[in-house]
Chain A
């Protein structure tokens, strides 16, 4: 009889939010009813999302999770004010990623732009009031996207310490009380025609390395001049649509800029920290499902008359995976806690927390990819068989390792912080 379960994988329980149990159970039930039975057909649904869309609707619209960050009086759940935003998000992302990490990222990225305006201590009440109805007064799933990456390179835009926004080509020009935005973004999660609201990383002074010129501006997708291309076909992550977005003389009110010169740049680093937390939690959640499926596999298959898991060399590989899973999960919650408690660890946008988030993220991703390679190999031809789900997690998680600037940018930021490098 199976005694162990994914809930035996450690996380620091003293950090957990009071809502952890409730939200965790709710999402797990949703995942088991709405996603896991269908997910093997998701790859073929990458363009239309006919099978995927109803599951999003249920989670975000009907169960209402898309309202989470907005203040209660605007119809939200007020998590932007919570001391448990990191650990709470971590649990939710894990539970969704256990079923499908692309759904977890599509869900998580809804909040990426909103972190900028809904979270203490930098709430922009006017923008919350402006956008809350879009998310809170509907039972349809409503998506948002954070458009940073441009054709010439995404890593450079995130490489803020050194390049200070100088490579951003999307421009914002103030014309009276409106921003006029021009540029081309690509790859944002929830692009490809999905999003209702974009946050767009722009420069007000192209080519300069100046935090003041960095602008974080909200652009509703239906505004004139916004054009979205169809989704790209990818190696995995079918539930996340990614495509091109063109902004041609798009006019938005001047107060759609999140906070203004200097502050946009500063708080944007918190967006990066949150992205790193999400990435680690997606890895941790997906690996929890890998644990479940591998447990089944090594229990259903035998070698030389013994259960596969009872073969010492195979058990060595299983142990290595379990050890990584333990460490990655603890790491996810530890980082979440660090983001929850600025009073102890400093502001979420500090260089320290950005660098440490990058370190945990690339550690988690590298370990996960190495483990998945080894586990797929243990399964022989079943390792490449979609019915066993492991190969899906392998394909999906690969992009977690590559996005947000790729591994090399992570390495540079980590070295820069720990070793005080100045030119990387």
Chain B
């Protein structure tokens, strides 16, 4: 494992295959991204899509969690927890956006496979999509949103607005506009939309990217994550049959979030690993205060560099710990249970804040070089901020934690 001697990775549960996978991903990052980055920068078609194809298809990560009898690798949730923690860190070193798209796919897959209400048809359909093709599959998650943007037939769920799932035939109809996906609204193959029945039961429904009733807005410009070209979407009475039901019930949605918090934590930790490599080189070679003071030997800058390292190590340990919890439902309960979900949320809040802080500090220490695209750091700074904001308002998320820790009724 890269830098394992400096930033130990908790090894319990991590398989040799995870370590060799990490090595392959490191080679992928070098060959497919680093070598071409200066020329192609964040070019989606020229750089990111081909790199995704190679990671998702050639290395095969897209099919890792899907059942073997459907063409997947059949990795269990316990195995996947550790694989995700290790592999996504490495992938994010190469490109944060690509790694995050993979984290989203795996979160959907693992929560679906956990038996959280997905119909067997849905599992078959999703497996086929992920295991049979030769192109990377892009899933887009449409989470509950702050009220005020979306229009149409909406329901309120846990203070937020979601499309109303109206029964139709054996399935449901969705009719809502102005929905903001978490990612990839512009080019997703499948949208996973959190909606809610009139009775208040949440469900995750799959809307195919080629559904004629799906309308995509123009992609909007955003801070980072070039691999995820996002756009708002509208659903004009889309019909979804039973095989489009991916998750049902609040626990199932929370399970998905727990997996997503794990993946996102690993991705942010990976971004910090990349930042560490950049600041380490800077610290070894930059000279300040005249000729004699190597950057890392100045007490003030060394102190901040130490803080960056400490944040990285904390992120890594927290991510590994969460992986262990998710890998051991017999000890901690399922991914959708309150305890694990709140632990996952806590880990995510701490990791994202530490990653943002460490990237801020790294940029500060590199001054203009940190701000220049050429030095590659600023991309991680923008990407991590984009994930951190996309996954939700921390002030509101703390209400979940207050409820769990203190029985608070604050909403």
Contact = CB atoms under 8 A, between A and B. Distances in A.
Interface in B283-299: 286-291
Interface stretch (A174-182, A210-218, A332-340, A397-405): A397-405
A154 B366 CA distance: 11
Contacts of A377: 388-389, 393-395
Given A153-B288, A311-B396, A377-B394, A305 B364 contact: no
Interface residues of A, number: 61
B367 A155 contact: yes
B363 A402 contact: yes
A277 to B, nearest CB: 20
B385 A373 contact: yes
Contacts of B124: none
Interface stretch (B125-133, B220-228, B260-268): B220-228
B281 interface: no
B68 interface: no
A155 B295 CA distance: 12
> Which label, helix, strand, loop or mixed, suits the secondary structure of the A interface?
helix
Contacts of A153: 286-288
Interface stretch (B141-149, B190-198, B321-329): B141-149
B8 interface: no
A406 interface: yes
Contacts of B374: 232-233
Interface string B345-381: 0000000000010001001110110111110001001
B222 A384 contact: yes
Interface in A387-424: 387, 391, 394-395, 398-399, 401-403, 406-408, 411-412
Given A383-B389, A384-B223, A314 B396 contact: yes
Contacts of B286: 153
Interface of A: 40, 43, 149, 152-156, 159, 162-163, 166-167, 187, 232-236, 242, 300-305, 308, 311-314, 316-317, 369, 373-374, 376-387, 391, 394-395, 398-399, 401-403, 406-408, 411-412
Interface of B: 145-149, 156, 159-160, 180, 182, 220-225, 230, 286-291, 300-301, 304, 356, 360, 363-365, 367-368, 370-374, 378, 381-382, 385-386, 388-390, 392-396, 398-399, 410-411
26 contacts: A43-B221, A149-B368, A153-B287, A154-B367, A156-B288, A233-B373, A235-B381, A242-B368, A300-B148, A305-B156, A311-B395, A312-B410, A381-B180, A383-B389, A384-B223, A384-B224, A387-B221, A391-B222, A391-B223, A398-B360, A398-B371, A402-B368, A406-B364, A406-B365, A407-B364, A412-B300
